[in-house]
Amino acid sequence: MRKSRLPDGGINLFQSIKKVKMEAKADGNTLIDLSIGQPFGPALQSARNAASVAILSKEESMHEYQDNGSPGVEDFASKFVDFHVMANLRNYDVDYLPTPGTKPMLGLIPLACGAGLKAIATTTNPGYPTPRDWCQYLGLKVIEPELNSDNNFLFNPYELDGKDVGLVMINYPHNPSGAVASRLWLETLCTYCEDNNIRIFNDAAYSALAYDNSSCCLSDVAVDFPDLSWAEAFSASKLIDNGTGWRIGAMVGSKDFIGDIKTIKGNTDSGFVAPMAFGVLAAIENDQKSIIANMEKYKRRTETLCGILLGAGMRPAITPKAGFFTLWEVPKFAFARKIEDARDFNFAMIEKFGVVGVHFGKYIRYSVACVEIEDVADKIEEAFKYAFVDY
């Protein structure tokens, strides 16, 4: 009998939400879509201008395979990483790798750890599910330490003791909570992993959108652990406003880990699109004012949305410190009835008021990525007011 040979659970969460949204629209509802994690509109003008010049260039290096380097954009990876990191990495024994964004690279990280890898710890409970999904497709055991309000969405590394973990894949600043990794927590994680020969990878896609000084990159800490095997990935997707389709990023890390990633990537990938990388580099070198304004826009929207939901009785799981996501505890009662779970609450809010979120386990995420909250503040306030939430 012919049937799927993939692991169970392959139905995409966002596709199920999309289906309910389409049904709500068909019923005549106007949606306030707080589910989308993609900024609205184009990339920054400065990035687009520079990319257009690069595309028109006749230089062969701008149009050929870039592979594991960037012949069209000299030293792109080191310059891009330097923009995000406080430490002067040139003084340390590190290596760099330009990437076509981060998402296509996530499956290569466990592969780069070799066939002897037994288990991987991920920050996916709750969290961005791709690392967990990759590990399941690869048949690897996944350990998901619980992230919650009590631990500020930062697990205790020593909880991993005795679980055969050979790789820790983290995502800070964190999606969906907006939690950031502090230097102290990263030092604890690095100490534990160095002592136990565990590799660390951090997806730092939102590091440039952190608006709290406590946020710290793994790179700024890991360089002080000479025996630690580590890597960190940075992305331009949200950095230059909507650069999600540009697929430009870079990694930095210890030479052993980056070297292994290069081996896998070199055999499976031809590199990024050089003109887009040229545009990204132009923006971070010449238009930091717009990048800062972009971060401040999300901070303002987040504060406005949090004020509305708090006023309506919603309970935050944590106060976000980066990015454009807010995470909330799911009410036990709403709409004059008992709420079964996050999915139940989310779909009811879509059906009754057109307010769309993303349900993550016992939490619900509302994003401000593509909605100017001030313009719909009254409608959001009214929706949650008449939902009569109660805990």
Per the prediction, the chain carries an average pLDDT of 95
The band of 22, judged by pLDDT with boundaries at 50, 70 and 90, is confident
The band of 9, judged by pLDDT with boundaries at 50, 70 and 90, is low
| pLDDT tens column, 45-76 | 999 999 999 999 999 999 999 999 999 999 99
Residue 10 pLDDT > 60, yes or no? no
Q: Mean of the pLDDT values across residues 88-95?
A: 95
pLDDT of residue 18: 82
Residue 165 pLDDT > 70, yes or no? yes
Q: Mean of the pLDDT values across residues 75-94?
A: 96
Q: Mean of the pLDDT values across residues 36-42?
A: 93
pTM of the predicted protein model: 0.95
Q: Which of 23-27, 31-35, 213-217, 237-241 has the lowest mean pLDDT?
A: 23-27
Closest by CA position to 357, among listed 2, 24, 5:
24
Answer with the residue of higher pLDDT: 9 or 389.
389
Q: For a pLDDT cut of 70, what percent of the chain falls above it?
A: 99
pLDDT of residue 23: 86
pLDDT of residue 341: 96
Residue 11 pLDDT > 80, yes or no? no
Q: How far apart are CA 240 and CA 215, in angstroms?
A: 20
Q: Mean of the pLDDT values across residues 343-353?
A: 95
Compute how many other C-beta atoms are within 10 angstroms of the C-beta atom of residue 63: 15
| pLDDT tens column, 235-264 | 999 999 999 999 999 999 999 999 999 999
| pLDDT tens column, 254-303 | 999 999 999 999 999 999 999 999 999 999 999 999 999 999 999 999 99
Q: Mean of the pLDDT values across residues 98-117?
A: 96
Q: Mean of the pLDDT values across residues 155-180?
A: 96
